[in-house]
């Protein structure tokens, strides 16, 4: 394996008899990391829907097509910077000049088959044999040969809460345009279905029965998309009113959007606002930063919030739980996620076992994980298994906001900018200037009632006011 990077121009492979096929979806954005065979774009002719797989692992450095463009074999679609590190030499001979996708997993007879051929075979076989549409992906050949398919892209995605459901969303959907059309009409999410057709392909019947089932019993968590009875989304011809610009959203942004919308719609959120007096804490923080200036460890407010949250979660175990059907799962481990703003979108790295870590270690991990997050280098492990999340906008500003709960967690702490305020002192019978930190706790009202939430935040504020209480 060589760590040297090289540029790879990825072109549309041999797609059989099809030419000038419209691009219906761009599945990657510049800056995305992909592995071998990740779908890059989707093409849809009137006969077939085809994902063009990545010929190698790497980072997308340019995208040369947009939705609606018509492409044919050899059209340049994407530039990749590859290191060769994720290429399996047994499965992936070097891509020839011109960027034609390299070989796919070997079939049973051991001879490697280039994906271009597989794509062409599948598309033309299907078009000829069944005259129906087909989604072609090299995964099919891997599955047919008993070799494991690629893990879902979410594994490498630095997206928000890549739960298995989200991973499903990133798997290719094996459905014809007509099945997709039925799904669109009925409002059925194809990513949730298991196809009963040949090689797991989704059939019209799969979609119709899923729709009937959703309508009768409702979706998980008691919410059915069809039951919401929402008005159609407004359609506006923006260009009629002036010049516009269309910008591709990153995969992280698109995945986050799906998660946030689901969590907002399914979970009844209530946000409890309060303030913590962190005057003493701030003085101690400054002292610690001075003491550790040579170690490269920076103690931000978030470091203390994590420690104080763990102490508070221990006192209020319901906040460190998840709903599982009729049961509540109380977790005896404390994995604290923190929302991180990155150029590609919002991600939530997790400090695992935060209860067993001291402030220095938490501060160090915060620095390391947020740096990795911004570079898009977080692993799935580093973003999973959170039990409680913190979203700190304190470095930017604000006085309160409503953070959205990171399902399946049941609460999230939002933090905004600390400010010096006059606080009445009974002892001194006067107002004294105190540094007050605004706290906004959103909680799942199905699990937590308002009084508990108010007590939780008061307790948290008390701990932040005197961090010795962490030791209690
Ligand atoms: N009040 C006052 N100052 C604060 C503060 C607060 N609540 N929180 C942070 N600050 C200060 C820090 O102390 C630091 O100042 P100094 O350099 O003088 O010490 C400065 O603001 C920058 O801090 P930071 O935000 O970089 O560091 P952090 O550890 O507090 O936060 C991180 C790290 C990763 C959470 C943050 O960078 C980030 O990405 N925040 C955005 C999270 C987000 O997008 N949330 C919304 C999600 S929902 O849409």
pLDDT value at residue 338:
98
CA dihedral 165, 167, 168, 174 (to 10 degrees): 170
pLDDT value at residue 177:
62
End-to-end Cα separation, the chain, in angstroms: 51
The pocket around ligand 1, CB under 6 angstroms, is made up of 300-302, 338-341, 346, 366, 370, 391-395, 403, 415, 417-418, 437
pLDDT value at residue 52:
86
pTM: 0.61
pLDDT value at residue 227:
67
**CA–CA distance from 320 to each of 331, 340, 385 (Å)?**
6, 21, 12
Instruction: Judge whether 362 and 354 are in contact, CB under 8 Å.
Output: yes
Q: Which atom from ligand 1 is nearest to the alpha carbon of 370?
A: 34
Q: 292: which 2 tokens?
A: 């550790």
Question: What residue's CA is closest to ligand 1, atom 45?
Answer: 391
Residue to substitute in 274, 284, 287, 300 for testing ligand 1 pocket (most ligand atoms within 8 angstroms of CB): 300
Chain CA centroid to CA 181, Å? 26
Q: What is the spatial distance between Cα 436 and Cα 429, in angstroms, rounded to a whole number?
A: 19
pLDDT along the chain (472 residues), means of 10: 75 83 87 85 74 88 93 93 58 30 30 32 29 28 31 33 44 70 78 76 82 58 60 94 95 93 96 98 96 92 98 98 96 98 95 97 97 94 97 97 98 98 95 97 98 98 91 72
Number of other CB atoms surrounding residue 369 within 10 Å: 22
Q: How remote is the CA of residue 295 from the centroid of ligand 1, in Å?
A: 20
Q: 394: which 2 tokens?
A: 């304190």
pLDDT value at residue 203:
83
Q: How remote is the CA of residue 387 from the centroid of ligand 1, in Å?
A: 21
Phi-psi sector, 199: left (phi>0), alpha (psi -120 to 50), beta? left
* pLDDT tens digits for range 48-70: 667 788 899 899 999 999 988 99
Q: What is the spatial distance between Cα 81 and Cα 41, in angstroms, rounded to a whole number?
A: 17
Q: What does the buried/exposed string (b/e) look like for 127-163 if buried means 16 or more CB atoms within 10 Å of the residue's CB?
A: beeeeebbbbbbbbbbeeeeeebbebbbebbbbbbbe
pLDDT value at residue 171:
58
Q: How remote is the CA of residue 128 from the centroid of ligand 1, in Å?
A: 59
pLDDT value at residue 172:
64
Task: Say whether 459 is catalytic.
Answer: no
Q: Which atom from ligand 1 is nearest to the alpha carbon of 339?
A: 42
Instruction: Judge whether 347 and 338 are in contact, CB under 8 Å.
Output: no
Q: What does the buried/exposed string (b/e) look like for 374-402 if buried means 16 or more CB atoms within 10 Å of the residue's CB?
A: bebebebebbbebbbbbbbbbeeeeeebe
Question: What residue's CA is closest to ligand 1, atom 22?
Answer: 395
pLDDT value at residue 84:
63
Q: How remote is the CA of residue 443 from the centroid of ligand 1, in Å?
A: 22
Question: What residue's CA is closest to ligand 1, atom 7?
Answer: 394
pLDDT value at residue 122:
34
| Residue among 64, 191, 445, 459 flagged as catalytic | 445
CA angle 467, 313, 403 (to 5 degrees): 95
- Residue 420 has φ and ψ, to the nearest 5°, of -80, 130
Q: Sign of the CA dihedral 332, 333, 338, 342?
A: negative
pLDDT value at residue 429:
95
Q: How remote is the CA of residue 296 from the centroid of ligand 1, in Å?
A: 17
> Quick one: 105 exposed, middle or buried, by C-beta within 10 A (0-12, 13-18, 19+)?
buried
Question: What residue's CA is closest to ligand 1, atom 10?
Answer: 395
């Amino acid at each position: 394996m060589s760590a040297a990077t090289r540029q790879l121009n990825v072109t549309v492979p041999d797609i059989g008899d099809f030419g000038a096929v419209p691009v219906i979806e761009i599945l990657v954005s510049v800056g995305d990391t992909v592995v071998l065979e990740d779908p890059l774009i989707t093409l849809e002719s009137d006969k077939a829907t085809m994902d063009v797989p990545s010929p190698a692992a790497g980072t997308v450095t340019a995208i040369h097509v947009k939705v609606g463009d018509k492409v044919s074999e050899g059209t340049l679609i994407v530039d990749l910077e590859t290191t060769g590190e994720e290429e399996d030499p047994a499965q992936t001979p070097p891509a020839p000049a011109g960027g034609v996708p390299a070989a796919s997993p070997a079939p049973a007879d051991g001879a490697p088959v280039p994906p271009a051929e597989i794509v062409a075979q599948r598309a033309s076989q299907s078009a000829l044999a069944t005259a129906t549409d087909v989604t072609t992906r090299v995964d099919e050949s891997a599955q047919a040969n008993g070799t494991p398919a690629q893990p879902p892209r979410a594994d490498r995605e630095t997206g928000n809460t890549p739960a298995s459901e989200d991973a499903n969303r990133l798997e290719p959907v094996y459905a014809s345009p007509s099945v997709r059309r039925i799904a669109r009409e009925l409002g059925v999410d194809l990513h949730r279905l298991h196809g009963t057709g040949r090689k797991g392909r989704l059939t019209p019947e799969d979609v119709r029965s899923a729709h009937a089932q959703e309508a009768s019993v409702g979706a998980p968590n008691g919410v059915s998309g069809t039951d919401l009875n929402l008005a159609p989304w407004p359609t506006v011809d923006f260009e009629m009113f002036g010049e516009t610009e269309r910008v591709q959203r990153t995969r992280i942004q698109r995945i986050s959007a799906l998660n946030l919308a689901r969590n907002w719609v399914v979970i009844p959120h209530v946000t409890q606002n309060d303030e913590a007096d962190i005057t003493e804490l701030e003085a101690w923080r400054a002292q610690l930063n001075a003491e550790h200036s040579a170690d490269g460890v920076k103690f931000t407010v978030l470091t203390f919030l994590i420690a104080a949250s763990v102490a508070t979660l221990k006192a209020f175990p319901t906040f460190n739980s998840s709903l599982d059907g009729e049961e509540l799962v109380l977790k005896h481990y404390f994995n604290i996620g923190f929302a991180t703003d990155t150029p590609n979108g919002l991600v939530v790295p997790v400090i695992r076992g935060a209860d067993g870590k001291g402030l220095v270690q938490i501060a160090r991990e915060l620095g390391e994980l947020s740096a990795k997050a911004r570079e898009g280098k977080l692993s799935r492990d580093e973003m999973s298994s959170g039990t409680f999340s913190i979203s700190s906008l304190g470095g930017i500003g604000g006085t309160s906001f409503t953070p959205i709960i990171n399902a399946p967690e049941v609460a999230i702490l939002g933090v905004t900018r600390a400010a010096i305020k006059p606080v009445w002192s009974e002892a001194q019978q006067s107002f004294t200037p105190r540094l007050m930190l605004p706290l906004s706790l959103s909680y799942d009202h199905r699990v937590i009632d308002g009084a508990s939430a108010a007590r939780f935040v008061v307790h948290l504020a008390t701990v932040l006011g005197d961090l010795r209480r962490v030791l209690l």
